[in-house]
């Protein structure tokens, strides 16, 4: 049997695309606040104003003629990242890990010429990567120095932590690890591995690649559910406090662990995908309904994190 | 959360409105519910001839007026005559007139009729007043005797008429009846006897419609009033009720033909059965009645053919909504498949698919060269549009040279849409590899093909153009699907790992 029966999924509380769009995104995410998450530059500014740690902002390129300023901007840095402010799904992100004599190198060691960098930025400004092809700006950010705790778990890329935050409560989390198949990207539909995490502890629960469960990383062979994400409480607090910052009820937060600065908020997503349920081996609906049914005074981020840890842990019943 | 009730009420209202408007159109205007339906029609020629006496002549001829037949076309041929058609509530007559009629005169009236299937003849609630017939002294006793005898054996107007007909047309007629029939026709006698009892009845003239008959005459019938209806009796055959192929030509009790200023007047009928398209017939009938208000047939032909394709778009859109919301197929560009499907209608499916793949793959090749040129997005897209036009021109020319007339239809593809498709596919290729291009491109083509199949079905085309109410039903369905929060078919496969305990 390749197909599940609808009632089996409903019994296990699996959220589907149509219900997510109508009952959660449509109801809890007011349209007017979308730009706070769709525009990464605005997200970054809001985060800084709310004391949420983000990667360094080196500069912003708004016009084609400013492209010539890039070498000046990144002078003295060993690496940097260029990304479109309104990109979606990880599109258009250029990572330079090594700069030597005005020559740039990508994480896989390939050289990229300055003119290729210029063309990439020009494409970003023309809106090639933005939603609906609108003109965009390019953000130049400092390189993140990944916490070595994930060494051996990720192949050539950025392991990031996705938390679904519903009305300020972190309800479900996963760790996304890039693979050869995903070409160093952390998007599950491109072949990255998703590891479901216990909300209480950050311990790995269950892992999937291409929507199919697996036990070991396909490139490094390490056992995936042995992972325990460090700085877990800080991650939960950061994620939870984004609710006050962008006022979107149903939110996906993407964070990374920097070796020196700890958890950094990478970006927010107003339309987080559903694959996190497969990574956790669990439907998200019971937790969402639990929070929808809650009454009483609004809680602070700390109280919400504590509440989520007791109610949505894999060892508690939910 | 606000109540969903008004929404569902609104959808139900749209649904009911659309459906009832369509049914109304089908029943009231006889628009056939299926395409290609045929109806029978009858063409009846009446030839009125008389001998002119060299004085002014006036010919008054009754025209058919029968609820069982609707008049589609009628015309007259009568050179040298003035013609008026008087049209009052009960009586339609053609009046021909001339100053000078000498020798044999022929006037023609031709009518095309469509059976409506309405065999019953309705009568007013209050029966018309009856003028009692005064029997001549020689017949009075005999008539009264027959009437009283039949009256005692009857219970109602109808049974009286039935018994009376049996007495008049029966094999062993009594002497009294024979006496009465010696001076009058059975039909006249029947009507007079009914009138004696105050029962409304009148003599009418009808024509039996039989294919390819010539030189036919009208036959007499009697309509007897019974419970708000006229019941037809045929005294010549001794039958009651109305045969299907009978056309009532004259129903007022007046003469069929009156000629002043002529002698030896005569009317002959010839008739022909024909089948014609039910749709064309209903349109002609609507034109006759000026009932085209809410039909697209009142538009000029060019706009009509434009609307024929525009009105297919809702079907394609419905298909896309269904495939995305209920099935979960991914497409590149939301409604791009609908536009491709519209082009397929012009090109036919196979030619369309081959043409689309040719254009897109050529476009992708040229686009990959444009990538190297390091252009701004807007000029790159513009370049792709021009290249697409070039490709289409080239293929059209080649197809024409090789005598492939199907290939020429390739020009129907929407070029801007193709250019954007090529651009999107190209970026998809660079970012996510050829596999995703084949997946999304294949999904789009699959949706386009399914939309094409839905849009090209003849009965779908017939419905969306002739029953505009269907668009309200489609709107209701689209709104309803916009509320669907259940699993998509492909999600059942995707979330299979979560189905266990």
Q: What is the pLDDT of residues B246-259, one digit of tens each?
A: 888 888 777 888 88
Q: What is the mean pLDDT of chain B?
A: 84
pLDDT band at B458 (very low <50, low <70, confident <90, very high): confident
pLDDT score for A317: 47
Q: Collapse the DSSP code of A250 into the 3-class scheme (helix H, G, I; strand E, B; otherwise coil) and give the result.
A: strand
Say yes or no to pLDDT of B1 above 70. no
Gap from A91 CA to chain B (nearest CA, Å):
8
Task: Note whether A14 contacts B498, CB cutoff 8 Å.
Answer: yes
Gap from B494 CA to chain A (nearest CA, Å):
7
Nearest-by-CA chain A residue for B1: A27
Gap from B484 CA to chain A (nearest CA, Å):
7
Higher pLDDT, A127 or A290: A290
Gap from B432 CA to chain A (nearest CA, Å):
7
Contacts of A14 in chain B (CB under 8 A): 487, 495, 498
Partners of residue B223 on adjacent β-strands: B202, B232
| CA pair distance B61, B255, nearest whole angstrom | 8
| CA pair distance B22, B466, nearest whole angstrom | 8
Q: Where are the alpha helices (DSSP H) in B329-414?
A: 336-347, 349-372, 377-401
What number is the average pLDDT over the span B458-464? 88
Q: How many CB pairs under 8 A join A and B?
A: 84
Q: Residues of chain B whose C-beta is under 8 A from some C-beta in A?
A: 1, 325, 328, 374, 376-378, 427, 431-432, 483-489, 491-500
* Residue B243 in tokens: 């045969």
Q: What is the pLDDT of residues A199-233, one digit of tens each?
A: 888 888 888 888 788 888 877 778 888 888 888 88
CB atoms within 10 A of CB B89: 6
Say yes or no to pLDDT of A318 above 50. no
| CA pair distance A41, A283, nearest whole angstrom | 33
| A298 has a chain B CB within 8 A of its CB | no
| A304 has a chain B CB within 8 A of its CB | no
H or E, element range at B327: none
CB atoms within 10 A of CB B81: 19
| CA pair distance A197, A256, nearest whole angstrom | 15
Nearest-by-CA chain B residue for A8: B499
Buried b (16+ CB within 10 A) or exposed e, A197-217: bbbbbbbbbbbbbbbeeeeeb
Higher pLDDT, A239 or A133: A239
pLDDT score for A252: 93
Nearest CB neighbour to A128, from listed B427, B484, B493: B427
Quickly list DSSP for B92-104: EEEEEEEEEEEEE
Task: Note whether A6 contacts B487, CB cutoff 8 Å.
Answer: yes
Which of A:54-73 have CB within 8 Å of B? Answer: 64
Gap from A200 CA to chain B (nearest CA, Å):
22
Global pTM exceeds 0.90: no
Q: Collapse the DSSP code of B476 into the 3-class scheme (helix H, G, I; strand E, B; otherwise coil) and give the result.
A: helix
CB atoms within 10 A of CB B321: 20
* Residue B426 in tokens: 């190209």
User: Which of A105-119, A202-216, B446-460 shows the highest mean pLDDT?
Assistant: B446-460
Buried b (16+ CB within 10 A) or exposed e, B20-31: ebbeebbeebbb
| CA pair distance A103, A288, nearest whole angstrom | 49
Say yes or no to pLDDT of A70 above 50. yes
Residues of chain B with pLDDT > 90: what percent? 10
Q: What is the pLDDT of residues B203-249, one digit of tens each?
A: 888 888 888 888 888 888 888 888 888 888 888 888 888 888 888 88
Q: What is the pLDDT of residues B323-368, one digit of tens each?
A: 999 998 887 777 888 888 888 888 888 888 888 888 888 888 888 8
pLDDT band at A315 (very low <50, low <70, confident <90, very high): low
**Test mutation, B324, B370, B485, chain A, max A CBs within 10 A:** B485
Say yes or no to pLDDT of B294 above 80. no
Nearest CB neighbour to B485, from listed A22, A123, A278: A22
User: Which of A127-131, B125-129, B247-251, B252-256 shows the highest mean pLDDT?
Assistant: B247-251
pLDDT score for B314: 93
Say yes or no to pLDDT of B404 above 80. no
Say yes or no to pLDDT of A316 above 60. no
**Which stretch of A182-186, B156-160, B379-383, B448-452 has the lowest confidence by average pLDDT?**
A182-186
Give percent helix, percent strand, percent coil of chain B, each to the nearest 5. 50, 25, 25
Which residue matches tokens 């933005």? A130
Domains of chain A as residue ranges with CATH? 10-37+148-311 (3.30.470.20), 56-142 (3.30.1490)
């Amino acid at each position: 049997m390749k197909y599940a029966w609808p009632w089996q999924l409903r019994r296990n509380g699996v959220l589907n695309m149509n219900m997510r769009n109508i009952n959660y995104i449509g109801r809890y995410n007011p349209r007017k606040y979308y730009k706070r998450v769709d525009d990464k530059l605005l997200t970054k500014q809001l985060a800084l104003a709310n004391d949420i740690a983000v990667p360094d902002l080196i500069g912003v390129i708004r016009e084609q003629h400013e492209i010539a300023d890039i070498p000046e901007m990144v002078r003295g840095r060993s690496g940097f990242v260029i990304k479109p402010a309104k990109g979606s799904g990880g599109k258009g992100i250029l990572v330079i890990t090594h700069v030597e004599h005005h020559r740039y190198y990508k994480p896989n060691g390939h050289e990229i010429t300055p003119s290729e960098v210029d063309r990439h930025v020009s494409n970003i400004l023309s809106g090639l990567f933005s939603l609906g092809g609108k003109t965009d700006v390019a953000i130049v950010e400092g390189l993140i120095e990944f916490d070595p705790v994930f060494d051996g778990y990720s192949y050539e890329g950025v392991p990031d932590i996705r938390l679904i935050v519903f009305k300020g409560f972190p309800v479900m989390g996963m760790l996304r690890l890039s693979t050869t198949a995903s070409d160093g990207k952390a998007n599950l539909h491109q072949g990255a591995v998703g590891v479901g995490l216990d909300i209480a502890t950050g311990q790995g629960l269950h892992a999937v690649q291409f929507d199919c469960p697996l036990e070991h990383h396909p490139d490094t062979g390490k056992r995936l559910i042995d992972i325990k994400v460090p700085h877990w409480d800080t991650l939960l607090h950061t994620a939870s406090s984004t609710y006050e910052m962008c006022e979107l009820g149903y939110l996906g937060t993407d964070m990374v662990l920097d070796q020196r600065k700890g958890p950094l908020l990478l970006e927010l997503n107003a339309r987080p995908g559903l694959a996190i349920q497969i990574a956790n081996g669990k439907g998200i609906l019971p937790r969402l309904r639990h929070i929808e049914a809650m009454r009483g005074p609004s809680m602070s981020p700390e109280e919400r994190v504590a509440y989520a840890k007791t109610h949505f842990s894999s060892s508690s019943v939910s | 959360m606000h109540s969903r009730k008004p929404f569902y009420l609104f959808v139900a209202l749209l649904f009911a409105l659309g459906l009832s408007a369509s049914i109304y159109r089908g029943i009231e205007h006889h628009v056939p519910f299926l395409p290609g339906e045929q109806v029978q029609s009858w063409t009846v020629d009446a030839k009125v001839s008389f001998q002119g006496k060299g004085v002014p002549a006036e010919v008054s001829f009754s025209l058919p007026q029968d609820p069982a037949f609707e008049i589609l076309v009628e015309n007259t041929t009568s050179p040298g005559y003035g013609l008026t058609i008087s049209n009052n509530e009960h009586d339609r007559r053609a009046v021909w007139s001339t100053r000078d009629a000498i020798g044999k005169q022929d006037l023609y009236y031709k009518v095309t009729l469509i059976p409506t299937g309405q065999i019953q003849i309705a009568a007013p609630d209050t029966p018309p007043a009856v003028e009692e017939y005064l029997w001549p002294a020689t017949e009075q006793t005999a008539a009264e005797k027959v009437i009283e005898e039949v009256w005692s054996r009857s219970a109602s107007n109808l049974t009286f008429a039935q018994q009376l007909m049996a007495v008049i047309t029966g094999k062993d007629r009594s002497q009294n009846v024979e006496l009465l029939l010696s001076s009058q026709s059975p039909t006249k006698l029947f009507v007079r006897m009914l009138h004696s009892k105050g029962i409304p009845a009148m003599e009418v003239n009808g024509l039996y419609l039989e294919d390819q008959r010539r030189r036919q005459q009208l036959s007499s019938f009697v309509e007897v009033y019974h419970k708000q209806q006229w019941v037809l009796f045929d005294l010549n055959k001794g039958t009651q009720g109305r045969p299907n192929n009978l056309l009532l030509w004259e129903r007022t009790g007046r003469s069929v033909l009156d000629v002043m200023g002529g002698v030896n007047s005569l009317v002959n009928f010839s008739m022909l059965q024909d089948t014609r398209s039910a749709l064309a017939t209903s349109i002609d009938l609507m034109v006759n009645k000026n009932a085209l208000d809410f039909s697209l047939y009142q538009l000029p032909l060019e706009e009509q053919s434009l609307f024929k394709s525009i009105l297919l778009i809702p079907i394609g859109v419905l298909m896309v909504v269904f495939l995305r919301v209920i099935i979960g197929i991914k497409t590149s560009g939301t409604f791009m498949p609908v536009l491709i499907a519209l082009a397929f209608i012009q090109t036919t499916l196979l030619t369309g698919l081959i043409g689309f793949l040719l254009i897109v793959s050529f476009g992708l090749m040229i686009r990959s060269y444009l990538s190297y040129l390091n252009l701004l997005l807007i000029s790159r897209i513009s370049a792709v549009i021009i290249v697409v036009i070039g490709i289409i021109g080239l293929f059209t020319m080649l197809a024409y040279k090789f005598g492939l007339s199907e290939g020429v239809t390739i020009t129907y593809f929407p070029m801007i849409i193709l250019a954007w498709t090529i651009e999107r596919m190209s970026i998809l290729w660079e970012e996510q590899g050829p596999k995703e291009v084949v997946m999304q491109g294949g999904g789009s083509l699959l949706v386009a093909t399914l939309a094409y199949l839905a849009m090209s079905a003849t009965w779908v085309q017939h419905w969306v153009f002739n029953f505009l109410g269907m668009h309200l039903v489609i709107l209701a369905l689209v709104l309803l699907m916009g509320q669907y929060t259940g699993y998509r078919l492909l999600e059942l496969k995707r979330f299979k790992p979560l189905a266990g305990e």
